[in-house]
Amino acid sequence: MTNVLIEPSTTVAVDDPGGFDFPDLAADPPDDPTSTTRHPRGDNRDDEGSDPPRGGDDEERQDRRPSRHRQRAERVLIRRAVHRSRALAAADPDDLRLLAAVLGSGVDLATLTVAALTAPRTATAALDDVLALRGMDRADQMAEVAFMERRRTLSLWTILSELGAVDGRRPTVDIVATKATVAAVAALSDATVARVERVVDLARGA
């Protein structure tokens, strides 16, 4: 048995397993590189209280600023809208009505300007068909119209009706409708063809 001093004049008997030397419990433990315990002096480099890197607010403000490319694109779009609006304002009212019918738009200047700017190039397909048919002989005209898709022939008939070249609905019999379409195209005056060309230019901003 080994006697361990606990308090003055008091001893406690403790089993001694082979004379083991107890370490000094009051001494500081050795540094452990794997330990996550923070140093009391605050020298730990992983301190969660460290300030975050600056610059985040500046980057966020820069992200909110419109880029030069976007500003340039917006100016180009506005300039195009102004030019197109001026061109439409100076156009013949009859041309504007035909353009509105082609684009499926209202005839007021603002609505028509937006429609002209956003319409696909195929919007003038029926007018293009009128001009193309005018350059063909009768046999080619018959063949061209006969092999058109139904939607295309309906659009062509609608434009011819807007031009005053046909009356009523398109005939339901294809051969009759083809002959009536070709005859209407052939009967168009030079002034009407010139009007079609002007409307095409208005739609495309030429």
Pairing verdict, β 10-14 and 2-7 = antiparallel
Question: pLDDT (tens digit, 9 = 90+) per residue, 15-52?
Answer: 444 444 444 444 454 555 454 444 444 444 444 455 55
Mean local confidence (pLDDT), 156-173:
94
User: 105: left (phi > 0), else alpha (psi -120 to 50), else beta?
Assistant: beta
Its pTM stands at 0.63
**pLDDT at residue 121 in the model:** 87
Q: Quote the pLDDT of residue 102.
A: 93
CB 31 within 8 A of CB 38: no
Q: Is the pLDDT of residue 198 over 50?
A: yes
- Rounded Cα distance between 111 and 85, Å, is 10
Amino acid letter, residue 196? V
Quick one: pLDDT at residue 56? 55
Higher pLDDT, 66 or 199: 199
Residue 10 pLDDT: 45
